[in-house]
Amino acid sequence: MKRRVCCFLLIFLFTTVSIPIKNVDAAPIRVDAVSAIAIDSATGTILFDQNAHKVIPMASTTKIITALVTLQYGDIDRVVEISKNAASIRGSKVGYKAGDKVTIRELLYGLMLKSGNDCAIAIAEGTSGTVEKFCEVMNEFAVSIGLLDSHFESPHGLDSNSHYSSAYDLAIATKKAKEIEEFNKIVSTKLISGEEGIEFTKQFNNINKLLYSEPNCTGVKTGYTGQAGKCLVSSFKLEKNEIIVVTLNCVPRWKESQRIYEYVKDNYEYKKIIEAGEVIGDIKVKGKERGIPLVAEEDLIFPVRKEEKIVKDIVIPNYELTTPIRTTDDIGILTITNELNSKYAITLHPKEDIEKIGIWDYIKYMINKDE
């Protein structure tokens, strides 16, 4: 019974409803960046888009994916030895020496707060054995979470012809990373010399200026190279939610990231589009005279621009389901689409369990059906 949604590709009922919401016009803005985006961290809904899918270098914002992969697959309390390769890497460094023994946890702070390229190499070697193998994992993981415009040749992001991403991909990667409590803790830290009774060998202060100038900023990562220019991925609290802002090749990155945040804050509001338990539709059941209602499991809180039209697309099978049916079965899909064509989908479930129909009940149903 589970995952009946796969059948929708063959036969389905499709309903579209447009819902205008609120007043006041919200004029879009342009920012001084080659590429930029803002998304809602919970749903991934696009709130601002300026060439967001343009494939370009992204410098040290690469380290978001490095940290994400490490937190997904590695034991961050294990100790690794800094290699000559890590100690001699060019660009921004924490300053570890070959032979130093450091925890992955400390290296993650050095990676995300100080943008240490030596930390990136040490993490890659300590997690996968070699930088090359770690990059293979990065690329495989990127595809698995839907980063289709990205390719990684290093864990640090120094310029390379085959190392690139897009503002959209970086926003989606950050959304995924922010599902991890430890990631949020690291990127929002301003100053640290240890964690949970563990002393670090070095003290780190965060170079993300927005953490100090904007009270609602919660991270995430800076970046700069000659080819990529100045880059910034940042996150901001908004009501009870959070938005992610990316600016790539943006000289005034602090100001423009703040502008995008202010634009979203001034022009969007979070609306309860669907309530938990709300009946969205119904579906026929073989052996039952009446269909069963389909409901959403939880509230759907969605960011809506003032005077924006939200489109609801409901997809449910138009054939009779067979019993038994459980409230955990995925029966339908409700998709919300905003005016930037950004989509968010939730599954629909039966409101109640229905046990298997007995043979006599089914015969009675068929007789009544023919009358």
Residue ranges of the annotated binding site for substrate are 221
Binding residues: 221
Active-site residue, 60 included: yes
Residue 172: φ, ψ to 5°:
-65, -40
**Which residues on neighbouring strands pair with residue 238, listed in sequence order?**
241
Residue with tokens 């800076």, as numbered in its chain: 222
User: How far apart are the C-alpha atoms of 311 and 327, rounded to whole Å?
Assistant: 26
Q: What is the CA radius of gyration of the chain?
A: 25
* 39-57: burial string, b at 16+ Cβ within 10 Å, e else: bbbbbbbbbbbbbbebebb
Residues 6+ apart with CB under 8 A from 364: none
Closest among 151, 146, 122, 147 to 135, alpha carbons compared: 151
- From residue 222, alpha-carbon distances to 34, 49, 175, 248, 285 in Å are 16, 20, 16, 10, 55
Catalytic, out of 41, 83, 115, 150? 115
Catalytic, out of 35, 63, 178, 257? 63
Residue with tokens 């009358």, as numbered in its chain: 371
Q: List active site positions.
A: 60, 63, 115
